[in-house]
Amino acid sequence: MSKQAVVVVDFQNDYLTSGSWPLVGIDAAVHKAAKVIEDARSKGIRVIHVRHENPAGAPFFIAGSQGAEIIPAVAPKDDEQVVVKNFPNAFRDTDLKTQLEADGVKDIVIIGAMSHMCIDATARAASDHGYNVIVVEDAAATRDAEFNGMTVPAYHVHAAFMSALDFAYGKIVKADEYLK
């Protein structure tokens, strides 16, 4: 296997059940993500955290707020880098690609939130940049979505986006499979 990095996308306090933009299944996803992160650390695999910031007036992740802080259970340790982004795609207007290239990374493992926004955008961009992409789907979470007056349950939103990513952008696995 080529050099790998785990990219932890937007696991921030506002997504917790106590936050301003809670996700369905966030606690279970954070639990699985913590296992993936610990495994990476134990193997010397680089872990990069991505934190989204929005301007005042946005419904969540207001820059400088407690809600924009990374969830403690998956927070950076030691010299782990934190990339701050302002768009769903973690590569857009950040130095994420430069960091990965400097470290010779070819394989990216993506965990985090939301499945249908930042996980999708980051996985597609990573694939477009030529990285081999793995998304650990049970270490990711989302919420119900609305379309044409219809509520789409979070489970269906997650499944649809994982299906699309698995079709053309990377490999979708469960944490237990990844950790074997």
CA distances from 119 to 65, 125, 147 (A): 22, 10, 20
User: How far, in Å, CA of 68 to CA of 84, rounded?
Assistant: 11
User: How far, in Å, CA of 1 to CA of 87, rounded?
Assistant: 30
Q: In a 3-state reduction of DSSP, which class is residue 86?
A: coil
3 is catalytic: no
Catalytic residue among 10, 107, 120, 138: 10
Catalytic residue among 107, 118, 120, 138: 118
128 is catalytic: no
85 is catalytic: yes
Catalytic residue among 32, 85, 120, 138: 85
Largest interatomic CA distance in the chain: 47
Catalytic positions are 10, 85, 118
